[in-house]
Amino acid sequence: MTTRVLVWNENVHETTQAEIRAIYPDGIHGAIAEGLTELLGDDVEVRTATLAEPEHGLSEEALAGTDVLLWWGHMAHDQVDDEVVARVQRHVLGGMGLLVLHSAHFSKIFIRLMGTTCSLAWRNDAERELVWTTSPGHPIAAGIEQPLVVEHQEMYGEHFDIPNPDEVVFISSFEGGEVFRSGVTFTRGRGRIFYFSPGDQEYPVYFHPQVRRVLANGVRWAAPADGERRLPEVTNPARRDWLVQPV
Amino acid sequence: MTTRVLVWNENVHETTQAEIRAIYPDGIHGAIAEGLTELLGDDVEVRTATLAEPEHGLSEEALAGTDVLLWWGHMAHDQVDDEVVARVQRHVLGGMGLLVLHSAHFSKIFIRLMGTTCSLAWRNDAERELVWTTSPGHPIAAGIEQPLVVEHQEMYGEHFDIPNPDEVVFISSFEGGEVFRSGVTFTRGRGRIFYFSPGDQEYPVYFHPQVRRVLANGVRWAAPADGERRLPEVTNPARRDWLVQPV
Amino acid sequence: MTTRVLVWNENVHETTQAEIRAIYPDGIHGAIAEGLTELLGDDVEVRTATLAEPEHGLSEEALAGTDVLLWWGHMAHDQVDDEVVARVQRHVLGGMGLLVLHSAHFSKIFIRLMGTTCSLAWRNDAERELVWTTSPGHPIAAGIEQPLVVEHQEMYGEHFDIPNPDEVVFISSFEGGEVFRSGVTFTRGRGRIFYFSPGDQEYPVYFHPQVRRVLANGVRWAAPADGERRLPEVTNPARRDWLVQPV
Amino acid sequence: MTTRVLVWNENVHETTQAEIRAIYPDGIHGAIAEGLTELLGDDVEVRTATLAEPEHGLSEEALAGTDVLLWWGHMAHDQVDDEVVARVQRHVLGGMGLLVLHSAHFSKIFIRLMGTTCSLAWRNDAERELVWTTSPGHPIAAGIEQPLVVEHQEMYGEHFDIPNPDEVVFISSFEGGEVFRSGVTFTRGRGRIFYFSPGDQEYPVYFHPQVRRVLANGVRWAAPADGERRLPEVTNPARRDWLVQPV
- Report yes or no: A233 at the C interface, CB cutoff 8 Å: no
Residue A149 burial (CB count, 10 A)? 18
The pLDDT of D101-123, averaged and rounded, is: 98
Which run of H or of E encompasses B31? helix B27-40
> Nearest chain C Cα to B120, which residue?
C134
pLDDT digits (tens, 9 = 90+) for B49-79: 999 999 999 999 999 999 999 999 999 999 9
Closest partner residue to B151 among D192, D226, D243, by Cβ? Answer: D243
> Nearest chain B Cα to A121, which residue?
B235
CATH entry, C3-115+182-227, from 1.10.600.10, 2.40.110.10, 3.30.559.10, 3.40.50.880: 3.40.50.880
Whether A237 sits inside 8 A of B157 (CB atoms) is: yes
From the list C6, C15, C2, the residue with the least C-alpha distance to C84 is C6
Closest CA–CA distance from residue C42 to any residue of chain D (Å): 33
- Phi/psi for B39 (5° steps) reads -90, -30
> Nearest chain D Cα to B190, which residue?
D137
pLDDT exceeds 90 at position D226: no
D179 CB neighbours in chain A (<8 A) are: 130, 132, 171-173, 179
What is the model's pLDDT at position B1?
A: 81
> Nearest chain D Cα to C236, which residue?
D122
**Chains with at least 3 CB pairs less than 8 angstroms from chain C:** A, B, D
Half-sphere exposure at residue B73, Cβ-oriented, CA atoms within 13 angstroms: 26
What is the model's pLDDT at position C246?
A: 59
Whether C122 sits inside 8 A of D236 (CB atoms) is: yes
Confidence of residue B4 (pLDDT cuts 50, 70, 90): very high
Q: How far apart are CA C217 and CA C170, in angstroms?
A: 13
Confidence of residue D245 (pLDDT cuts 50, 70, 90): low
- Report yes or no: C240 at the D interface, CB cutoff 8 Å: yes
- Report yes or no: A227 at the C interface, CB cutoff 8 Å: no
pLDDT exceeds 90 at position D243: no
Helix then strand then coil, in percent of chain C rounded to 5, is 35, 30, 35
**What pTM, to 2 d.p., does this model score?**
0.98
pLDDT digits (tens, 9 = 90+) for B155-211: 999 999 999 999 999 999 999 999 999 999 999 999 999 999 999 999 999 999 999
- Phi/psi for C200 (5° steps) reads -145, 150
Q: How far apart are CA D128 and CA B209, in angstroms?
A: 53
> Nearest chain B Cα to D237, which residue?
B146
What is the model's pLDDT at position D30?
A: 98
Confidence of residue D1 (pLDDT cuts 50, 70, 90): confident
- Report yes or no: A191 at the C interface, CB cutoff 8 Å: yes
Greater pLDDT, A23 or B246: A23
Whether A115 sits inside 8 A of B112 (CB atoms) is: yes
What is the model's pLDDT at position D246?
A: 60
Whether A164 sits inside 8 A of D160 (CB atoms) is: no
Whether C240 sits inside 8 A of D177 (CB atoms) is: yes
Please state, in angstroms and as integers, the Cα–Cα distance from residue B184 to each residue in A199, B134, B162, D218, following that order: 35, 10, 10, 23
From the list B200, B203, B192, B152, the residue with the least C-alpha distance to B174 is B152
pLDDT digits (tens, 9 = 90+) for A202-232: 999 999 999 999 999 999 999 999 878 999 9
What is the model's pLDDT at position A147?
A: 97
pLDDT exceeds 90 at position A246: no
- Report yes or no: A136 at the D interface, CB cutoff 8 Å: yes
Whether C226 sits inside 8 A of A149 (CB atoms) is: no
pLDDT digits (tens, 9 = 90+) for D76-89: 999 999 999 999 99
pLDDT exceeds 70 at position B29: yes
C241's CB contacts (< 8 A; 6+ apart) are: none
B156 CB neighbours in chain C (<8 A) are: none
What is the model's pLDDT at position D169?
A: 98
Q: How far apart are CA A56 and CA A50, in angstroms?
A: 6
Closest CA–CA distance from residue D67 to any residue of chain C (Å): 19
Using DSSP bridges, classify how beta strands D167-174 and C148-157 pair: parallel, antiparallel or unpaired: unpaired
Contact C98, C222 (CB under 8 A): yes
Which run of H or of E encompasses A173? strand A167-174
**Chains with at least 3 CB pairs less than 8 angstroms from chain D:** A, B, C
pLDDT exceeds 60 at position B247: no
- Report yes or no: A187 at the B interface, CB cutoff 8 Å: yes
> Nearest chain A Cα to B193, which residue?
A163
Residue A16 burial (CB count, 10 A)? 10
What is the model's pLDDT at position C1?
A: 81
Confidence of residue D189 (pLDDT cuts 50, 70, 90): very high
Which run of H or of E encompasses A237? none
Contact C121, C169 (CB under 8 A): no
Confidence of residue D50 (pLDDT cuts 50, 70, 90): very high
Whether A187 sits inside 8 A of C224 (CB atoms) is: no
Whether C187 sits inside 8 A of D231 (CB atoms) is: no
Using DSSP bridges, classify how beta strands B191-196 and B179-188 pair: parallel, antiparallel or unpaired: antiparallel
Contact C105, C120 (CB under 8 A): yes
The pLDDT of D187-193, averaged and rounded, is: 98
Whether C133 sits inside 8 A of B159 (CB atoms) is: yes
Contact C170, C141 (CB under 8 A): yes
Closest partner residue to C189 among D116, D122, D240, by Cβ? Answer: D116
What is the model's pLDDT at position B136?
A: 97
D231 CB neighbours in chain C (<8 A) are: 117
What is the model's pLDDT at position A243?
A: 85
pLDDT exceeds 70 at position C51: yes
Q: DSSP 3-state assignment of A42?
A: helix
D164 CB neighbours in chain B (<8 A) are: none
Closest partner residue to B236 among A114, A123, A163, by Cβ? Answer: A123
Which run of H or of E encompasses D180? strand D179-188
Contact D146, D132 (CB under 8 A): yes
Question: In DSSP terms, which residues pair with A48 in a beta bridge?
Answer: A7
Whether C167 sits inside 8 A of B164 (CB atoms) is: yes
Q: DSSP 3-state assignment of C39?
A: helix
Closest partner residue to C142 among A149, A151, A225, by Cβ? Answer: A225
**Burial class of residue B231 in the structure, from the number of CB atoms within 10 Å of its CB (0-12 exposed, 13-18 middle, 19+ buried):** middle
Whether D164 sits inside 8 A of C166 (CB atoms) is: yes
Q: How far apart are CA A157 and CA A120, in angstroms?
A: 6
What is the model's pLDDT at position D228?
A: 84
**Cα Rg of chain A, angstroms:** 18
Whether B120 sits inside 8 A of A163 (CB atoms) is: no
What is the model's pLDDT at position C59?
A: 98
Cis peptide before A147 (omega within 30 of 0): yes
From the list A105, A59, A66, the residue with the least C-alpha distance to A84 is A59
**Burial class of residue D59 in the structure, from the number of CB atoms within 10 Å of its CB (0-12 exposed, 13-18 middle, 19+ buried):** middle
pLDDT digits (tens, 9 = 90+) for C76-112: 999 999 999 999 999 999 999 999 999 999 999 999 9
**Burial class of residue A231 in the structure, from the number of CB atoms within 10 Å of its CB (0-12 exposed, 13-18 middle, 19+ buried):** middle
What is the model's pLDDT at position C228?
A: 83
Using DSSP bridges, classify how beta strands A97-101 and A191-196 pair: parallel, antiparallel or unpaired: parallel
Confidence of residue D21 (pLDDT cuts 50, 70, 90): very high
Three-class secondary structure assignment of C119-171: CCEEEEEEEEEEEEECCCCCHHHCCCCCCEEEEEEEEEECCCCCCCCCEEEEE
- Report yes or no: D185 at the A interface, CB cutoff 8 Å: no
Asked whether the CA dihedral B188, A188, B119, B16 is positive or negative, the reply is: positive
What is the model's pLDDT at position D247?
A: 54
D224 CB neighbours in chain B (<8 A) are: 137
- Helices D209-222 and D27-40: crossing angle, nearest 10°? 80
What is the model's pLDDT at position B232?
A: 97
Whether A232 sits inside 8 A of C136 (CB atoms) is: yes
What is the model's pLDDT at position D143?
A: 97
The pLDDT of D99-117, averaged and rounded, is: 98
> What is the rounded average pLDDT for all residues in chain A?
96
The pLDDT of D14-19, averaged and rounded, is: 96
ipTM score for this prediction: 0.96
Whether B133 sits inside 8 A of C164 (CB atoms) is: no
What is the model's pLDDT at position C115?
A: 98
> Nearest chain B Cα to D225, which residue?
B139
What is the model's pLDDT at position D115?
A: 98
- Report yes or no: A130 at the D interface, CB cutoff 8 Å: yes
Q: How far apart are CA B132 and CA B136, in angstroms?
A: 10
Q: How far apart are CA D33 and CA D26, in angstroms?
A: 10
From the list D183, D243, D189, the residue with the least C-alpha distance to D217 is D183
**Burial class of residue C94 in the structure, from the number of CB atoms within 10 Å of its CB (0-12 exposed, 13-18 middle, 19+ buried):** buried
B186 CB neighbours in chain A (<8 A) are: 163
The pLDDT of B210-220, averaged and rounded, is: 98
- Report yes or no: C235 at the A interface, CB cutoff 8 Å: no
Q: Mutation target for A interface from C242, C243, C245: give the one with most A CBs within 10 A.
A: C242
> Nearest chain C Cα to A130, which residue?
C242
Closest partner residue to C232 among D93, D161, D238, by Cβ? Answer: D161
- Report yes or no: D95 at the B interface, CB cutoff 8 Å: yes
D164 CB neighbours in chain A (<8 A) are: 135, 167
Q: How far apart are CA A145 and CA C142, in angstroms?
A: 32
> Nearest chain A Cα to B166, which residue?
A164
Confidence of residue A1 (pLDDT cuts 50, 70, 90): confident
Distance from the first to the final alpha carbon of chain D: 32
What number of residues does chain D have?
247
Whether B233 sits inside 8 A of A166 (CB atoms) is: no
Confidence of residue C166 (pLDDT cuts 50, 70, 90): very high
The pLDDT of A149-175, averaged and rounded, is: 97
Q: How far apart are CA A199 and CA A37, in angstroms?
A: 18
Using DSSP bridges, classify how beta strands B179-188 and B167-174 pair: parallel, antiparallel or unpaired: antiparallel
In this predicted structure, which of B227-236, C7-16, C211-220 has the lowest mean pLDDT? B227-236
pLDDT digits (tens, 9 = 90+) for A48-99: 999 999 999 999 999 999 999 999 999 999 999 999 999 999 999 999 999 9
Residue C69 burial (CB count, 10 A)? 26
Q: How far apart are CA C112 and CA B166, in angstroms?
A: 24
Q: Which residues numbered 36-75 in D keep a CB inside 8 Å of some CB on B?
A: none
> Nearest chain D Cα to A166, which residue?
D164
